Amino acid sequence: MAFIEVRGVQKSFATNGATRHVLRDVSLDVEQGEFVSIVGAMGSGKSTLLSLLAGLTMPDRGTIAIDGEPLRGVHRHAAFVFQNYSLLPWFTALENVRLAVDAAFPDSTREQQVARARDALGKVGLANAVNRRPRQLSGGMRQRVAIARAVATEPRVLFLDDPFGALDALTRETLQQELAGLGSQTNQRVTTVMITNNVEEAILLSDRIVPILPGPPATLGVSIPVDLPRPRTVAQLAHDELATYVRAHVVATLTASPGRLRKLATEPATASRVLPAVAKEMR
């Protein structure tokens, strides 16, 4: 049984009397310790899917289970990183992280809580900025605080909602590397689901990429494994053959016409070194 199991999930919203079907027939398995990226264009329903997984909204139909338990509300071992940081402006970086730590470890002493929060901020390179407020931090630093807040609670599952989407290209790359590094430091990898519209980012970080097929209502395409050794770097991925195929496959799936899509779907991407359908075309 997979760690996260999504079965036949459907979600629509009612706006001014009209019903907007956002997701249909979404099924997904995420294994323990796996990093899965859900990649799709803006407005494709990615965020809706993540807020369903996060337990912030409930599906109209279908089931979501985490660690064998049906999801009712926010999972107790889940942590989140949002695109817009979602830091509280009246708290310093340390206080923002402590808010999460105190809630996750209510039985620890005050000193232990502070130490844990400081440690998390140190890991993302903010040891010298713990007493600054979000307003005094750059976008990249704010997102580091948000990442520290998420990992400080030692979550068993991490949800990343386009975590680098609001950052400039350079900062984005640095932070991607750091997040990849953060994952490889700990001996036990945290199960992670990230949504993004950046294919490169997905290849850099994930074990598997799940394209979200444009709707509405949107659904998930066949997942594409990213069997590349870690640690990965952006520079190395630019020339890697498999990375090139994965990139082409994801882009082809995301931009495919319905007929072309069917063809891709019937030739599922496998864990073998090449992705047949795309590889054939590229030659």
Name the residues that contact another protein, by CB under 8 A.
Answer: 54, 56, 73-74, 76, 78-80, 82, 84, 86, 88-91, 99-100, 102-104, 133, 153
- Pick the closer one to another protein by CB: 83 or 223: 83
Nearer to another protein, 161 or 173 (CB): 161
Q: Please choose, from the candidates 60, 55, 91, 58, the residue with its C-alpha nearest in 3D space to the C-alpha of residue 73.
A: 55
Residue 100 or 179 with smaller CB distance to another protein: 100
Considering the complex, what minimum distance in angstroms separates the CB of residue 104 from another protein?
A: 8
| Shortest distance (Å) from residue 280 CB to another protein | 44
Q: Terminus-to-terminus CA distance in the chain, angstroms? A: 39
Q: Checking DSSP bridges between strand 157-161 and strand 61-66, what pairing results, if any?
A: unpaired
CB of 34 to another protein, least distance (A): 21
Q: Is the CB of 52 or the CB of 254 nearer to another protein?
A: 52
| Shortest spacing between CB 24 and another protein, in angstroms | 25
Judged by DSSP in three states, 242 sits in helix
Plot region of 260 (φ>0 → left; ψ -120 to 50 → alpha; else → beta): alpha
- What does the radius of gyration of the chain's CA atoms come to, in whole angstroms? 19
Report the Cα 53 to chain-centroid distance in Å.
Answer: 11
Separation CA 68–CA 155 (nearest Å): 16
When the beta carbons of 97 and 124 are compared against another protein, the nearer one is 97
- Least gap, CB of 255 to another protein (angstroms): 32
Q: Which two tokens stand for residue 109?
A: 């002493």
Q: DSSP secondary structure string, 144-183?
A: HHHHHHHHHT--SEEEEESTTTTS-HHHHHHHHHHHHHHH
3 versus 91: smaller Cβ distance to another protein: 91
Q: Kindly state the smallest distance separating residue 142's Cβ from another protein, in Å.
A: 13
- Report yes or no: 110 and 102 within 8 Å, Cβ to Cβ: no
Q: Tell how strand 191-196 and strand 208-213 pair up.
A: unpaired
Q: How far is the CB of 192 from another protein (least distance, A)?
A: 15
| Residue nearer to another protein on the CB measure, 7 or 77 | 77
Write out the H or E segment, with its range, that includes residue 267. Answer: none
